[in-house]
Structures are given as C-alpha cells and as structure tokens.
C-alpha cells in the first residue's frame, strides 16, 4: 500500500474512534508525538515526587504523613505505567531516562517551583493535581490504546490526591490566624504556575492542531485552562480564601470566568531550564539514578542466574 493510502486509512480509524495499538501501522510523526508526550508525562510524575517528598519527614501528624507517602508512591507508579506505555512505541526506558537526566527531555514546568511550607502540600494537591486531572480525564480517551488505558487508573488515584489536598487546606483555612495566612500564601504562590501547566495559549501551541486531528488531545490548552479556572473560583469560596488575580470576573456572555494575563516570560524561562528549582530537580534525579545503580545491577544479575538455572533444569 502507498504511504498516502496508509495515512488515509489511519485517519479513518482515528475518526471512527478505533484505538491505535502498538503493532498497528502509524505515521512516524504520530509515533514521535506520542513518545514525546507520554515520556514527558512520565518524567513529570517522577520529578513531581521531589517537591512533595521534601515534606514526608516533616508532615504534621502520622495521618498526614501516611497520606503523603501514599500519594508520592502513587506518582512513582504513574511514572512506571507511562514509561511502559511509551516503550510500546519502540523507545527504550533507558533512552527516555537518559534524555531526562541530560536535560534534553521536558517535564511539567510546575515541578520547578519550591514547596516552602506545609500548606504547599495542600495547594499542590488541590491546584496541581486538580489541573492535572482535567488534562488527564481527557487523555483517558486519547487515541493511542496503551496511553488511554494507563490514564484510567491514574485518574482514579489522581482524584484522591486532589481531595486530600483540598481537605488539608480546608483544615488550615479553619485554623489559627497563622495557619490561615499560610494557606492563603500557598494558594497565592501556586495559582499562576498551575495555570501554566496547561501549556502555551492555543495561538502559540505548536503541537495542538495535529494532536487534535489525531485525537491524542481532545481539548485545547485554553479550553482546559478555562475549565480549571471556572472550577477553582467556586472551590476557593469554600476555603474562604481568594485567588491572586484582580481580573477574575464572571462573564455572562461566555458563561466563564475571565482571568488576567499569564506571565509567559516566566513560563518559557521555566520550560527552558531557568526556573527556581530546575537545576536542583535534575541534580536530585541524577543522584538518585547513580545511587540506585546497584539495585539495577543486582536485579539483572538475579534474572541472569534464574534464567541460567531454568535452562539447566
Ligand atoms: N511544562 O504545543 P504545546 C502530575 C511544551 S504530572 C513544560 O501546547 P502539547 C503530578 C510542550 O512540551 C502531570 N513544557 O504542546 C505529578 C511543547 O514543547 P515540545 C503532567 C510544556 O504537547 C506529581 C511546547 O511547550 N501532565 O499530574 O501539545 C504530583 C509547546 O506546547 C508545558 C502531563 O504531562 C509545561 N507545562 O501540549 C502532582 C499531561 N506545556 O515538546 C501531579 C500530558 C507545554 O514540542 N501532556 N510545554 O518541545 C499534555 O497533555 C501536553 O503535552 C501538554 C502540552 C498539554 C502539557
């Protein structure tokens, strides 16, 4: 079959909502886009463990500590499902991890911000996981089968993450004046970076058009960001807190909340490696990888011994 016919058939399959599976024919650009997005997503989960891991030993109670440990472990699991999904497209996990460690691969801008107080654990759960869920619910219907299936489980766990974050902030918001101030401060610092998670404006988004045609993405960056704003404006009222944007205003004509301009200069600086914690995050990942080398070597040596024993038997 000619390339043109293969591409036509491929698009027909997408249009009929038939999932693309690893051994199916696919355009090279579709494969590449999925490897890029899924591996970036996996890296985000893994790097995302760092800002929260920072608070495990300082959680204010046994209950909070147990919840935080569970959440961070879930994120490790999400990273692993996603690396496995990306590997089905023919790129090895080693390659993807090397690209992360060398600084070649991207991961979500949000994890380059510091977690300064305990309230940040609540704000990350409520806002960062809240933003992530909106994006990820859409990805449960993405066209590449292994990615879509990985997302179903991830979304279930992610919704627990968001609830625990909101509940933790709710406790602080009903606490002492210091706790209330800490809660508001965390919301102030995480609000704008959370809006940036959705990526550049649609007009600046280089990948969106093609990804929408291939149904890798089903909603644009701006559509998801708007849903997030609409949701957060209502939820922040329950906390008795405010969002740090004087331009937030209900727009009766569009039935959405209008909001202020994102600092895109800051966004691109963070994406390009110059955010507050980029260097720290990569150094931590590289260190962990180096220190874990013996575990990988031991696992390989054990597998080789087992295989040799089975062969001899
Ligand atoms: N940060 O054309 P665009 C989590 C890049 S973790 C950095 O719109 P696309 C959690 C983009 O890659 C959840 N880079 O791209 C874990 C592209 O550059 P390249 C993370 C960004 O792919 C622990 C360029 O900008 N979620 O839940 O169509 C604790 C132009 O953008 C960002 C995912 O990864 C950014 N924020 O759309 C708590 C979801 N935004 O690659 C929580 C999967 C954009 O061409 N990913 N860029 O060099 C996606 O849905 C899409 O990749 C995006 C961007 C919506 C993020």
Question: Element (H or E) spanning 257, and its range?
Answer: strand 256-258
Number of helices (H) and strands (E), helices first, in the chain?
14, 2
Whole-model pTM?
0.96
> Are the beta carbons of 65 and 38 closer than 8 angstroms?
no
φ, ψ dihedrals at 104, nearest 5°: -75, -40
Tell me how far the alpha carbon of residue 57 lies from the centroid of ligand 1, in angstroms: 30
Residues in contact with 200: Cβ distance below 8 Å, sequence separation at least 6, in sequence order: 221, 264, 267
Mean per-residue pLDDT for 7-32? Answer: 97
Kindly report the protein residue whose alpha carbon is nearest to atom 23 of ligand 1. Answer: 48
152 pLDDT band, cuts 50/70/90, is very high
Tell the residue nearest (CA) to atom 51 of ligand 1: 37
Residue 219 has a CB neighbour count (10 Å cut-off) of 18
**Closest CA to ligand 1's atom 27:** 132
Average pLDDT value for residue range 50-69: 96
Binding-site residues, ligand 1, Cβ < 6 A: 36-37, 40-41, 44-45, 48, 75, 106, 108-109, 128-129, 132, 135, 196-200, 205-208, 211, 217, 221, 271
Distances (CA, A) of 255 to 20, 21, 249, 250: 36, 39, 10, 7
User: Nearest-5° angle of CA 201, CA 257, CA 121?
Assistant: 75
Is the predicted pLDDT of residue 83 greater than 80, yes or no? yes
Average pLDDT value for residue range 121-150: 96
| pLDDT over threshold 80, residue 1 | no
Confidence category of residue 3, pLDDT binned at 50, 70, 90: confident
Nearest to 127, CA basis, from 208, 241, 43? 241
Give distance in angstroms: CA of 182 to centre of ligand 1. Answer: 29
| Ligand 1 nearest atom to the CA of residue 136, by list position | 39
Q: What is the pLDDT of residues 204-259, one digit of tens each?
A: 999 999 999 999 999 999 999 999 999 999 999 999 999 999 999 999 999 999 99
* Cα distance between residue 59 and residue 236, in whole Å: 23
Q: What local confidence, expressed as pLDDT, does residue 283 receive?
A: 98
In which band, very low, low, confident or very high, does the pLDDT at 313 lie, cut at 50, 70 and 90?
confident
For range 23-34, the mean pLDDT: 97
Least confident segment among 77-86, 92-101, 155-164, 251-260: 155-164
Question: 310 CA to middle of ligand 1, Å?
Answer: 44
pLDDT band at 2 (very low <50, low <70, confident <90, very high): confident
């Amino acid at each position: 079959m000619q390339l043109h016919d293969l591409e036509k058939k491929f698009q027909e399959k997408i249009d009929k909502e038939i999932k693309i599976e690893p051994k199916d024919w696919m355009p090279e650009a579709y494969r590449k886009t999925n490897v890029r997005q899924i591996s970036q997503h996996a890296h985000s989960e893994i790097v995302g463990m760092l800002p929260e891991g920072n608070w495990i030993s300082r959680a204010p109670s046994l209950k909070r500590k147990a919840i935080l440990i569970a959440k961070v472990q879930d994120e490790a699991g999400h990273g692993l499902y996603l690396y496995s999904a990306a590997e089905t497209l023919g790129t090895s996990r080693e390659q993807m991890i090397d690209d992360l460690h060398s600084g070649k691969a991207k991961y979500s801008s949000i994890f380059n911000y510091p977690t300064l107080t305990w309230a940040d654990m609540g704000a990350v759960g409520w806002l960062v996981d809240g933003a992530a869920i909106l994006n990820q619910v859409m990805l449960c219907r993405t066209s590449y089968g292994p990615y879509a299936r990985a997302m179903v489980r991830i979304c279930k766990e992610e919704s627990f993450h968001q609830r625990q974050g909101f509940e933790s902030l709710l406790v602080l918001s009903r606490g002492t004046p210091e706790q209330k101030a800490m809660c508001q401060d965390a919301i102030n610092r995480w609000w704008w970076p959370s809006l940036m998670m959705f990526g550049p404006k649609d007009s600046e988004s280089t990948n969106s058009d093609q990804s929408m045609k291939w149904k890798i993405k089903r909603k644009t960056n701006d559509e998801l960001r708007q849903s997030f704003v609409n949701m957060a404006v209502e939820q922040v009222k329950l906390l008795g807190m405010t969002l740090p944007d004087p331009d937030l205003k209900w727009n009766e004509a569009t039935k959405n909340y209008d909001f202020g301009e994102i600092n895109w200069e800051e966004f691109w600086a963070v994406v390009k490696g110059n955010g507050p914690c980029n260097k720290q995050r990569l150094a931590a990942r590289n260190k962990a990888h180096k220190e874990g080398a013996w575990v990988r070597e031991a696992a390989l040596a054990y597998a080789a011994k087992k295989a040799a024993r089975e062969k001899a038997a």
